[in-house]
């Protein structure tokens, strides 16, 4: 071996180690981003399926019912709250039982008209215009939730 080759060889190894480290770093970062994107897609798919279930019942005849038991709630959604828009909230602050209802009423006072709130890391409200809610309630899954076709909307209970 020539003297120049011996001196240059450690630089090749150092360069190779740096390249491998960068590939691993960006690879793990991309896998993490893909997993987060998967959660976002799962949530968006859930919202779409929920809206489709409401539309299916809306298109049926008066009195038709449908259970939402088969609708899978994403893991990141811990609670789903159905709120009567502009209902009267009694109380001066949230308690453990009515925290979501309190927040919903606080939002509706500000002109926001969401009637369904999804509790994840944060609280996200959505409006489902064909959905009629008679009483505020929260669920963690759709095991006992039923949609029923009314005259001009769909009642959830």
Q: Mean pLDDT for the chain?
A: 79
Residues counted in the chain = 157
Domain span at 22 = 3-156
Model confidence at 28: pLDDT above 90: yes
Radius of gyration over alpha carbons of the chain, in Å?
26
- SS3 of 65, please? strand
Report CA dihedral (114, 95, 136, 139) to the nearest 10 degrees: 90
Summarize pLDDT for 51-109 with one digit per residue, the tens.
998 888 888 888 888 888 888 888 888 888 887 765 554 444 444 355 555 655 555 55
In contact, 136 and 83? CB cutoff 8 Å: yes
Structural domain total, the chain: 1
pLDDT of residue 92: 45
Instruction: Determine the average pLDDT of the residues in 107-114.
Output: 58
Phi and psi, residue 91, nearest 5°: 135, 165
Query: How far is 46 from 73, CA to CA, in rounded Å?
Result: 7
């Amino acid at each position: 071996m020539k003297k120049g080759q011996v001196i240059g060889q450690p630089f090749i190894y150092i360069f190779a180690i740096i390249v491998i480290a960068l590939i691993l770093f960006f690879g793990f970062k991309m896998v993490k981003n893909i997993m987060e994107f998967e959660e976002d897609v799962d949530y968006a798919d859930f919202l779409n399926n929920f809206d489709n279930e409401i539309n299916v019942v809306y298109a049926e005849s008066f009195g038709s019912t449908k259970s939402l038991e088969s609708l899978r709630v994403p893991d990141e959604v811990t609670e789903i709250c159905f709120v009567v828009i502009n209902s009267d909230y009694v109380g001066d602050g949230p308690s453990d039982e009515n925290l979501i209802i309190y927040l919903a009423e606080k939002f509706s006072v500000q002109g926001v008209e969401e009637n369904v709130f999804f509790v994840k890391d944060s609280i996200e409200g959505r409006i489902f215009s064909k959905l009629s809610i008679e009483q505020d309630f929260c669920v963690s899954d759709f095991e006992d939730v039923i949609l029923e076709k009314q005259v001009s909307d769909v009642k959830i209970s």
